[in-house]
Structure 1
Amino acid sequence: MTFDPSLYAHALASLAIWAILSQVLAGVSTIGRTPDRAPCGKPVRDYSNPVYRRERAFANAIESSGPFVAATVAAMLVGASPFWVNLLASVFVVARIAMAVVHVRTENQTMRSAFFAIGLFMTAGLALLALIGAFAL
Protein backbone atom coordinates (compact mmCIF):
# COMPACT_ATOMS: atom_id res chain seq x y z
CA MET A 1 0.00 0.00 0.00
CA THR A 2 1.34 3.39 -0.99
CA PHE A 3 0.25 6.56 0.78
CA ASP A 4 -1.17 9.08 -1.69
CA PRO A 5 -1.45 12.47 0.05
CA SER A 6 -3.61 13.90 -2.72
CA LEU A 7 -6.45 11.65 -1.57
CA TYR A 8 -6.44 13.38 1.81
CA ALA A 9 -6.09 17.00 0.68
CA HIS A 10 -8.95 18.25 2.86
CA ALA A 11 -7.69 16.41 5.93
CA LEU A 12 -4.17 17.74 5.38
CA ALA A 13 -5.53 21.25 4.88
CA SER A 14 -7.57 20.82 8.07
CA LEU A 15 -4.39 19.96 9.98
CA ALA A 16 -2.70 23.08 8.59
CA ILE A 17 -5.69 25.30 9.38
CA TRP A 18 -5.84 23.84 12.90
CA ALA A 19 -2.15 24.68 13.41
CA ILE A 20 -2.78 28.26 12.30
CA LEU A 21 -5.91 28.63 14.44
CA SER A 22 -4.05 27.33 17.50
CA GLN A 23 -1.31 29.90 16.98
CA VAL A 24 -3.83 32.71 16.48
CA LEU A 25 -5.56 31.72 19.72
CA ALA A 26 -2.16 31.71 21.46
CA GLY A 27 -1.69 35.34 20.48
CA VAL A 28 -5.26 36.33 21.26
CA SER A 29 -5.04 34.71 24.70
CA THR A 30 -2.42 37.24 25.80
CA ILE A 31 -4.44 40.35 24.94
CA GLY A 32 -5.55 42.30 27.99
CA ARG A 33 -3.76 40.26 30.63
CA THR A 34 -3.22 42.05 33.89
CA PRO A 35 -1.18 41.23 36.99
CA ASP A 36 -4.44 40.13 38.67
CA ARG A 37 -4.17 36.37 38.18
CA ALA A 38 -4.92 33.12 39.94
CA PRO A 39 -2.05 31.46 41.84
CA CYS A 40 -1.37 29.26 38.79
CA GLY A 41 -0.63 32.37 36.70
CA LYS A 42 -3.76 32.14 34.57
CA PRO A 43 -6.55 34.74 34.58
CA VAL A 44 -9.02 34.34 37.46
CA ARG A 45 -11.99 32.12 36.53
CA ASP A 46 -14.74 34.46 35.38
CA TYR A 47 -16.59 33.77 32.13
CA SER A 48 -17.85 37.36 32.04
CA ASN A 49 -14.20 38.42 31.62
CA PRO A 50 -13.08 38.32 27.95
CA VAL A 51 -9.47 37.80 29.03
CA TYR A 52 -10.45 34.60 30.85
CA ARG A 53 -12.53 33.39 27.88
CA ARG A 54 -9.65 33.98 25.45
CA GLU A 55 -7.29 32.04 27.72
CA ARG A 56 -9.78 29.16 27.96
CA ALA A 57 -10.32 29.11 24.18
CA PHE A 58 -6.58 28.73 23.66
CA ALA A 59 -6.18 26.11 26.40
CA ASN A 60 -9.10 24.12 25.03
CA ALA A 61 -7.63 24.20 21.53
CA ILE A 62 -4.30 22.89 22.80
CA GLU A 63 -6.01 20.19 24.85
CA SER A 64 -7.83 18.85 21.79
CA SER A 65 -4.89 19.14 19.39
CA GLY A 66 -3.16 15.89 20.30
CA PRO A 67 -6.19 13.63 19.86
CA PHE A 68 -7.27 15.36 16.62
CA VAL A 69 -3.82 15.24 15.02
CA ALA A 70 -3.16 11.67 16.16
CA ALA A 71 -6.52 10.35 14.95
CA THR A 72 -6.31 12.17 11.60
CA VAL A 73 -2.77 11.08 10.83
CA ALA A 74 -3.47 7.50 11.93
CA ALA A 75 -6.59 7.32 9.74
CA MET A 76 -4.63 8.54 6.73
CA LEU A 77 -1.71 6.19 7.36
CA VAL A 78 -3.92 3.09 7.54
CA GLY A 79 -5.61 4.12 4.30
CA ALA A 80 -9.06 4.80 5.77
CA SER A 81 -11.71 6.07 3.35
CA PRO A 82 -10.48 9.44 2.07
CA PHE A 83 -14.08 10.66 1.86
CA TRP A 84 -14.71 10.06 5.57
CA VAL A 85 -11.30 11.22 6.76
CA ASN A 86 -11.60 14.43 4.75
CA LEU A 87 -15.18 15.02 5.89
CA LEU A 88 -14.57 14.37 9.58
CA ALA A 89 -11.37 16.43 9.69
CA SER A 90 -13.02 19.32 7.84
CA VAL A 91 -16.10 19.32 10.07
CA PHE A 92 -13.82 19.22 13.14
CA VAL A 93 -12.01 22.37 12.00
CA VAL A 94 -15.20 24.23 11.09
CA ALA A 95 -16.77 23.32 14.44
CA ARG A 96 -13.66 24.37 16.33
CA ILE A 97 -13.44 27.70 14.49
CA ALA A 98 -17.08 28.31 15.43
CA MET A 99 -16.35 27.27 19.00
CA ALA A 100 -13.40 29.66 19.21
CA VAL A 101 -15.55 32.55 17.98
CA VAL A 102 -18.33 31.72 20.44
CA HIS A 103 -15.85 31.18 23.27
CA VAL A 104 -13.98 34.44 22.72
CA ARG A 105 -16.90 36.72 21.83
CA THR A 106 -19.78 35.45 24.00
CA GLU A 107 -20.72 33.75 27.25
CA ASN A 108 -23.00 31.30 25.43
CA GLN A 109 -22.00 28.04 27.09
CA THR A 110 -24.66 26.01 25.28
CA MET A 111 -23.29 26.86 21.83
CA ARG A 112 -19.72 26.43 23.02
CA SER A 113 -20.58 22.97 24.35
CA ALA A 114 -22.39 22.04 21.14
CA PHE A 115 -19.39 22.94 18.97
CA PHE A 116 -17.09 21.15 21.41
CA ALA A 117 -19.24 18.01 21.14
CA ILE A 118 -19.18 18.13 17.34
CA GLY A 119 -15.37 18.32 17.40
CA LEU A 120 -15.21 15.51 19.94
CA PHE A 121 -17.41 13.24 17.81
CA MET A 122 -15.37 14.01 14.68
CA THR A 123 -12.16 13.06 16.51
CA ALA A 124 -13.78 9.87 17.80
CA GLY A 125 -14.90 9.04 14.26
CA LEU A 126 -11.38 9.55 12.93
CA ALA A 127 -9.97 7.35 15.69
CA LEU A 128 -12.54 4.66 14.90
CA LEU A 129 -11.61 4.77 11.21
CA ALA A 130 -7.94 4.42 12.20
CA LEU A 131 -8.68 1.44 14.46
CA ILE A 132 -10.78 -0.33 11.85
CA GLY A 133 -8.11 0.29 9.24
CA ALA A 134 -5.32 -0.86 11.55
CA PHE A 135 -6.99 -4.19 12.23
CA ALA A 136 -7.80 -4.68 8.55
CA LEU A 137 -4.14 -4.42 7.51
Structure 2
Amino acid sequence: MTASRKKTSGRRSLDASSPASSTAEVSARSDVITNLAAVDKPFKNPSYKATKKYRSLKQVLALEKNNNPYPVDFPTFWSIEAPPSLLPATKYCDITGYEALYTDPKSNLRYHNVEIYQYIQELPRGTEQQYLELRNAHVVLR
Protein backbone atom coordinates (compact mmCIF):
# COMPACT_ATOMS: atom_id res chain seq x y z
CA MET A 1 0.00 0.00 0.00
CA THR A 2 1.12 3.49 -0.60
CA ALA A 3 1.43 6.08 2.09
CA SER A 4 -1.26 8.29 0.52
CA ARG A 5 -4.03 5.65 0.85
CA LYS A 6 -5.55 4.96 4.21
CA LYS A 7 -6.32 1.45 5.22
CA THR A 8 -9.96 0.94 6.15
CA SER A 9 -11.31 -1.97 8.09
CA GLY A 10 -13.99 -2.88 5.57
CA ARG A 11 -16.50 -0.28 6.78
CA ARG A 12 -17.59 2.74 4.86
CA SER A 13 -16.98 6.06 6.41
CA LEU A 14 -20.22 7.84 7.22
CA ASP A 15 -20.50 11.50 6.41
CA ALA A 16 -22.90 13.90 8.07
CA SER A 17 -24.59 14.50 4.71
CA SER A 18 -25.14 10.79 4.09
CA PRO A 19 -28.59 10.36 5.75
CA ALA A 20 -29.94 13.48 4.09
CA SER A 21 -28.83 12.35 0.65
CA SER A 22 -30.34 8.89 1.09
CA THR A 23 -33.66 10.45 2.19
CA ALA A 24 -33.67 12.61 -0.91
CA GLU A 25 -33.01 9.56 -3.08
CA VAL A 26 -35.87 7.64 -1.44
CA SER A 27 -38.29 10.52 -1.92
CA ALA A 28 -37.23 10.85 -5.56
CA ARG A 29 -37.79 7.13 -6.08
CA SER A 30 -41.22 7.28 -4.45
CA ASP A 31 -42.18 10.16 -6.78
CA VAL A 32 -41.23 7.99 -9.74
CA ILE A 33 -43.20 5.05 -8.36
CA THR A 34 -46.33 7.11 -7.71
CA ASN A 35 -46.21 8.70 -11.16
CA LEU A 36 -45.92 5.45 -13.12
CA ALA A 37 -49.61 5.56 -14.00
CA ALA A 38 -49.15 8.94 -15.69
CA VAL A 39 -46.15 7.85 -17.77
CA ASP A 40 -46.87 7.10 -21.42
CA LYS A 41 -46.37 3.46 -22.25
CA PRO A 42 -44.92 2.84 -25.72
CA PHE A 43 -46.35 -0.67 -25.95
CA LYS A 44 -49.97 0.50 -25.59
CA ASN A 45 -52.07 2.00 -28.35
CA PRO A 46 -53.37 5.35 -27.04
CA SER A 47 -56.34 5.37 -29.43
CA TYR A 48 -57.60 1.92 -28.37
CA LYS A 49 -61.03 1.75 -26.77
CA ALA A 50 -62.48 -1.50 -25.47
CA THR A 51 -65.72 -2.50 -27.14
CA LYS A 52 -67.36 -4.25 -24.24
CA LYS A 53 -71.08 -4.68 -24.66
CA TYR A 54 -73.27 -5.43 -21.70
CA ARG A 55 -76.28 -7.56 -22.47
CA SER A 56 -79.37 -8.21 -20.44
CA LEU A 57 -80.46 -11.70 -19.43
CA LYS A 58 -83.21 -11.69 -22.06
CA GLN A 59 -80.69 -10.89 -24.79
CA VAL A 60 -78.31 -13.65 -23.66
CA LEU A 61 -81.10 -16.24 -23.54
CA ALA A 62 -82.37 -15.20 -26.98
CA LEU A 63 -78.86 -15.47 -28.46
CA GLU A 64 -78.35 -18.93 -26.95
CA LYS A 65 -81.72 -20.03 -28.28
CA ASN A 66 -80.92 -18.83 -31.81
CA ASN A 67 -77.34 -20.14 -31.87
CA ASN A 68 -78.21 -23.77 -31.04
CA PRO A 69 -77.21 -25.70 -34.22
CA TYR A 70 -79.20 -28.81 -33.29
CA PRO A 71 -82.95 -29.33 -33.36
CA VAL A 72 -84.82 -29.90 -30.12
CA ASP A 73 -85.21 -33.65 -30.64
CA PHE A 74 -81.55 -34.20 -31.61
CA PRO A 75 -79.95 -36.88 -29.36
CA THR A 76 -77.11 -35.73 -27.11
CA PHE A 77 -75.15 -37.46 -24.36
CA TRP A 78 -77.51 -35.97 -21.78
CA SER A 79 -80.74 -36.90 -23.53
CA ILE A 80 -80.00 -40.47 -24.61
CA GLU A 81 -81.71 -43.12 -22.52
CA ALA A 82 -79.85 -46.40 -22.73
CA PRO A 83 -80.18 -49.75 -20.99
CA PRO A 84 -77.65 -50.66 -18.33
CA SER A 85 -74.24 -51.82 -19.48
CA LEU A 86 -73.66 -55.49 -20.16
CA LEU A 87 -70.15 -55.23 -18.70
CA PRO A 88 -69.73 -55.95 -14.99
CA ALA A 89 -69.32 -52.95 -12.71
CA THR A 90 -65.71 -52.03 -11.91
CA LYS A 91 -64.88 -52.50 -8.24
CA TYR A 92 -62.27 -50.37 -6.53
CA CYS A 93 -60.02 -50.98 -3.53
CA ASP A 94 -61.44 -49.48 -0.34
CA ILE A 95 -57.96 -48.50 0.90
CA THR A 96 -56.06 -47.26 -2.16
CA GLY A 97 -58.68 -46.61 -4.83
CA TYR A 98 -57.00 -48.89 -7.37
CA GLU A 99 -59.01 -51.52 -9.18
CA ALA A 100 -59.91 -54.24 -6.67
CA LEU A 101 -59.28 -57.79 -7.80
CA TYR A 102 -59.96 -59.42 -4.43
CA THR A 103 -62.41 -59.24 -1.50
CA ASP A 104 -61.59 -60.08 2.12
CA PRO A 105 -64.12 -62.71 3.27
CA LYS A 106 -64.03 -61.64 6.95
CA SER A 107 -64.43 -57.90 6.64
CA ASN A 108 -65.90 -57.74 3.11
CA LEU A 109 -63.33 -55.05 2.21
CA ARG A 110 -62.10 -54.94 -1.36
CA TYR A 111 -58.34 -54.82 -1.86
CA HIS A 112 -55.84 -54.51 -4.69
CA ASN A 113 -52.88 -56.73 -3.70
CA VAL A 114 -51.22 -58.70 -0.89
CA GLU A 115 -49.74 -55.62 0.80
CA ILE A 116 -53.19 -54.10 1.20
CA TYR A 117 -54.54 -57.44 2.47
CA GLN A 118 -51.87 -57.46 5.19
CA TYR A 119 -52.84 -53.89 6.08
CA ILE A 120 -56.50 -54.96 6.34
CA GLN A 121 -55.56 -57.84 8.65
CA GLU A 122 -53.81 -55.39 11.01
CA LEU A 123 -56.76 -52.96 11.21
CA PRO A 124 -58.32 -52.58 14.67
CA ARG A 125 -61.92 -53.69 15.20
CA GLY A 126 -64.52 -51.29 13.89
CA THR A 127 -62.17 -49.57 11.46
CA GLU A 128 -63.24 -51.82 8.60
CA GLN A 129 -66.83 -50.65 9.17
CA GLN A 130 -65.67 -47.06 8.66
CA TYR A 131 -64.08 -48.05 5.34
CA LEU A 132 -67.26 -49.89 4.33
CA GLU A 133 -69.33 -46.88 5.32
CA LEU A 134 -67.55 -44.84 2.63
CA ARG A 135 -69.17 -47.00 -0.05
CA ASN A 136 -72.43 -47.55 1.85
CA ALA A 137 -71.74 -51.23 2.53
CA HIS A 138 -71.43 -51.04 6.33
CA VAL A 139 -73.50 -53.07 8.77
CA VAL A 140 -76.12 -51.08 10.67
CA LEU A 141 -77.09 -52.67 13.99
CA ARG A 142 -80.56 -51.81 15.31
Larger radius of gyration: 2
Structure with the bigger RCO (C-alpha within 8 Å, sep 6+) is 1
**TM-score (norm. length: structure 2):** 0.21
Instruction: Compare the two structures and name the one with the higher helix fraction.
Output: 1
